[in-house]
Chains A and B, each alone.
Chain A
């Protein structure tokens, strides 16, 4: 029995990626005057888009870093219930090591979110149908939120018009979990097309049962802290639930070095006489990704791209390709979502069930700054209820792990940092594999932060002025 989700209280980004709103920008904000910031954000709150209906023209969502929440007046020990990774933040040195944000990826080089740039306290996520609409929305949001001077805009992260392709040229966003209780999951189940993709709502939204049948830790406040009764109460107690209908937003700006990627592919596949081999080049790129540029998975289309399979997401690895002869064991999609290849007993329902505890809702948008030849990349955004078990696990244990799947010296060929370690990509084959040694780095981190994306009631609570004695 699926829990009934309170779509009116959830921010819309949990429910949908706003595919119809093809233009987006993200404003990173710093709080300079907490009282003024609460007022300004409070005025913005009515504009915040809920999950109820698909917004036709524009959407606004708001999220806060741990410092941001503290500045809005939620002091420790009331932070209890927020997880350590959120409290310490993405740039904590221990997290940087875990995430691979070292060497040239280190936070000190970041454009935003690192120690060398002003602190990020909040992000306004803005979406519009067209470019002009986005301009108007930005002007409006700035007028409401920034005019009084209590909030400062640190950086505006623009995006490219939404397409199906990411900057390396591959169709993106094909595999997404279906959130139990949301219309798409319900429809897919009714049609029988849901497969293994339906995941408990509590994996993405706080306050609902997760894949363990439990509620993930979330910030709860003793009821005197919410004397006005703005927040829902926990079912079996009097605590006010600040987390209910909220989620954690992981935001990372990932620069994609498209030139380096292309020239690596050219060099790696050049004939001995120095001429290029476009077919081999495209095949190598596809094997590094695990899908063809058009989207077809190598497990089903090992030899060439297949437009009929552009959004094919109905496959596992164990039965068809246990040894990686079609899709290499170290390919990007095989690591980001190992499907049925995990212990114990790969190929079993248990294996898939374990994988379901490590899913994320991806909400990223590509960007291209400074015209042709300028920086390109992805504003990677994802939502999850447990950053450690979901986003960080995928990043550390699957993508960056040089020993993933029994491999050696083999982090993700596409997205992993290299940081002075050997980086090998192996294409399994009979009788003999091909090892490609010393892969260069193609993706680097330019900024990032962990945000809490509160439910709408929690948002109103956070933006309400603190009364005498810290009560609201």
Chain B
């Protein structure tokens, strides 16, 4: 989570925090050149602020953003999204389905890996089978769990009963089919995530070595990885995709803190930064002028009640509604958060398909009188005191205190922060169901559709559901939305579900994230995708 990263002087802490949510999400290829008149050098290279990836550079093994940004530059999957959340076909010619359960993928011909071998249907099927097998210990292997046969390859307990996913079948060199265990109208969206990248045959000879020197099929070729210093990639001249690089290559330079990266940006040693440290936020727009970036991206911060706790077991949702209305989001985002966030008006972040403004209705509007009335109506907050659990290493302390003050001032409910030393400890308390009252929760998109912000957080058995929230009616609505015959209908049904959420209050949405970043005078056309990463291929380097 980027918010976690920005405030900590050692970004490392945040890398861990990042892995929390900064997975995935593709990036649309915007890339206008920003009306710049300077001559462009198509072979010029530039540097981007980054850090040491957590894992070897294998597509299915990369969760945090330092690795993701490199993987995304080296691999191109079947599909990608544009900035409004619409599907763009990349390596796929088409992905067809009649029942949202069996998909036929046709590949564009002529695509090659960087080692010259062709990208075939086999390159995908074999890669997915390899990544899904628990023996290969890929951190993102659960992404294949929708595909038929996953329970055989990775059974809940005991030895695997099969080596390959029975739902994947190669038809010919450029065609394969995917069969799911049940219909998912938006499965095509998931295919945009880098875990579904193809792998060349050479990968399997030594996957570990391949993670050090990845061979992909994307707009950039891997050049070198100087551990803890930099990763260099160069333009792939043979690239067939629509997002061919407009520059000669990228150097991902390691920075331990956003402050140092900002200094290097100012002194001309760095071209693109991905975040501005809180210390520099008040001045960065003045320093950088029109090279300062201030843009929304698809992530949301909220606080979630621990529904398993004594306090919130069988709570009347009106109480949580009341607490939500006691939070003055406008003032807090403007003052404490220095305009780096935008008040949330629903549970689905901006920039994804199905986002609707004001989806939560009145619930996110500040109104102390209504807040008091709602809490009273709902029977009051048990104990008349709440705590918000957060990790102290992520820069959350300030806003947690501000939210607490706002709640106490408006309703008289006592509120205090429950600080855990770091993200690891915070996570452990959540996993062990030891959260006393509320905990801080953040979510960055996996794929740009509203289902990702509803189903994956509030479904009883969803991966992201750590609050113990469970509601049969909502589960049934989610199941109905998932079995909708078309994507559009599924999106609509999820929009209806979002409108119902105030009746359940599975969490209190606080604000949407924004990207506060910047770039040097050497480059132009720098844009950021919904996932918060810069769109590298669109960057243009000026002639010296």
A binds B: no
B-binding residues in A (CB < 8 A): none
